[in-house]
Amino acid sequence: MGYQTGLIRVTGAVGNIIFYKTQDGDLFRRKSGTAPEKIHNDPCFQKTREHINEFIKVIKSSKEIYYFLKKKNMPTSLPFNSIVKCLSQLKNEDTKNGHGNRTVDAGLRTHSGVILFNELFQDLNDQIRSKVLNYLIDPNTLKLDK
């Protein structure tokens, strides 16, 4: 990793080099990683695209639940990343659908999914927990802000 020691300060990218500031000073490095176009089109990245689709669904549901709990001023010990983790575990309970198509609501329809939901959201009162459960089962017909 290179350090900037001269008088000229640069941030951003120039060609294949990225310049950025840290507490240690100005740094630069070479760009790395896979191009987004390659991830979206290359058959080698099919599994990656499937995981991205599942993760997007989990994140959207987590966002709705998080803001609902925040709006209700719930004294919950569930920060956003914990809600994401809980819903990811519920999604993994879905054995009906293949990778890329697994959903949280299908995971909740299993016996182990219901048990897992009750364990993960045990600090919520029954009324709030039932609203969250109903939202997760059918997010199109039920809105949490009601």
The proportion of the chain whose per-residue pLDDT surpasses 90, expressed as a percent, equals 11
Strand partners, 13: 18
Q: What does the domain layout of the chain look like in residue ranges?
A: 2-32, 38-137
Q: Is the pTM of this model over 0.85?
A: no
The closest alpha carbon to 145, from 60, 68, 61, belongs to 68
pLDDT value at residue 74 = 67
Q: Using one digit for the tens of pLDDT, what is the confidence trace for 56-108?
A: 989 988 888 888 777 777 665 678 888 898 889 988 888 888 888 888 888 88
Which of residues 120 and 96 earns the better pLDDT score? 96
Helices 80-92, 46-71: axis angle to 10 degrees equals 130
Tell me the CA distances in angstroms from 138 to 31, 82, 134, one per residue in order. 42, 21, 6
Tell me the CA distances in angstroms from 42 to 35, 48, 55, one per residue in order. 10, 10, 20
Q: Identify the burial level of 130 via C-beta atoms within 10 angstroms of its C-beta, where 0-12 means exposed, 13-18 middle and 19 or more buried.
A: exposed
Handedness of CA 27, 30, 32, 38 (dihedral sign): positive
| Average pLDDT over every residue of 118-127 | 79
